[in-house]
Amino acid sequence: MGCPSIPQGKRLQSDTITLIRDEPAKLNKLQLKAMAGSFDTVLSQARQQNLSILVTLNRLADLEIERRWQAALKLRRERSKLAEKVSIDQFDFDHHKSRKEQKNRVLHLLDLEFVRERMDVILIGNPGTGKSFLANCIAGAACNANVKVLFTTAMDMINHLIAAEADHSLLKKLQHYQAPDLLVCDELGYLSLGQQGSHLFFQVISARHQKKSTMLTTNLPFADRGKVFDSTTLATAIHVLSTAFYTGMRRGEILSLTWNKVDLEKRNIQLEAADTKDREPRTIPICNELLEVLKSIPRALHDNRVFLYEGKPAKSIKTGLIRA
């Protein structure tokens, strides 16, 4: 006597139930955790709302994308070393006149255009003015925008680099600070970096310049750079890099610049056609920050050039940094 056959409709129903029961386990094996966890709920909604298979799959896929985004965001924040989550809404721009004056510039930084353009940012202000808070806000916004960020203090970075140099792992540690799309170096200027620390600091900065974005916070104006960096070469490098930052001048234009073309009273730099690469004369304004830099540079009696290295024309700041 043969076995009784199962009606076709009941067999299909049984197979469907088995597939539905096994599906979350399969999704978990594929590391689709959000889809697996929400499978029963989404399927129930699909039945109630009479959704098509494509719409149902789309809902499950959206849940998985959101889970992965949140996981990636959590990992980026952990690797960034950001201590806390802060928002620009918590920053009181009305607390001081200087904050109001810089509000638009600060808010503009939050659109992260400077990161996309691989530009550098320096936040200068007295202790307690909110530099570190703003740096945290901007770094957090960068993390949320899928930007690789590393937040550190200047001394912590230097101490790690010095330790790495001692145990012969300096190249690996330098790469650690050179790799992020945005490196935030907080509290530069509170303590002197020393000669070794100064050289290591500029190895990081020079390697990142125009390749990745760096943000520095400091309580010292450029004119007081000697309190932080123990090197004439590094002081010259700061002057050159500051001039490039505030004017957009080319390296050759900066290194050949002479004092007779700099008018501190009228606050401009006059470049003649012969001084420029495109052979077009230019008048370049001198902002308040650059004015302080230029005023701090001692003038040599024997040479009219603005930027000198050990009394000689600074032909290559990169070479000078290597020699230092």
Work out the average pLDDT over 276-287: 92
Any idea of the CA torsion for 238, 189, 196, 79, to the nearest 10 degrees?
-100
Taking the domains of the chain in order of start, what are their residue ranges?
73-230, 249-324
| Average of per-residue pLDDT values in the chain | 83
Per-residue confidence (pLDDT) for residue 270, from 0 to 100: 95
Closest CA to 75 of 135, 184, 148: 148
If pLDDT is split at 50, 70 and 90, which confidence band does 230 have?
low
92-107 as b/e: b if 16+ CB within 10 A: ebeeeeebeebeeebe
Percent of the chain whose predicted confidence (pLDDT) is above 70: 84
Angle at 183 (CA atoms; ends 180, 185), nearest 5 degrees: 155
pLDDT tens sequence across 241-255: 788 888 988 878 888
Rg for the chain, CA atoms, rounded: 29
CA 296 centroid distance within chain: 29
Annotation: CATH topology of 73-230: Rossmann fold (3.40.50)
pLDDT tens digits along 138-173: 999 999 999 999 999 999 999 999 999 999 999 999
Q: Write down how long the chain is.
A: 324
| Bridge partners, residue 310, by sequence | none
86: closest CA among 111, 122, 110, 117?
110
Amino acid making up residue 16: T
pTM over 0.75: no
Distances (CA, A) of 205 to 90, 107, 153, 175, 222: 31, 25, 14, 12, 16
Ordered DSSP codes for 90-157:
GS-TTSSHHHHHHHHHHHHHTTTHHHHTT--EEEE--TTSSHHHHHHHHHHHHHHTT--EEEEEHHHH
Q: Quick one: 191 exposed, middle or buried, by C-beta within 10 A (0-12, 13-18, 19+)?
A: middle
Separation between Cα atoms, residue 275 and residue 231, nearest integer Å: 29
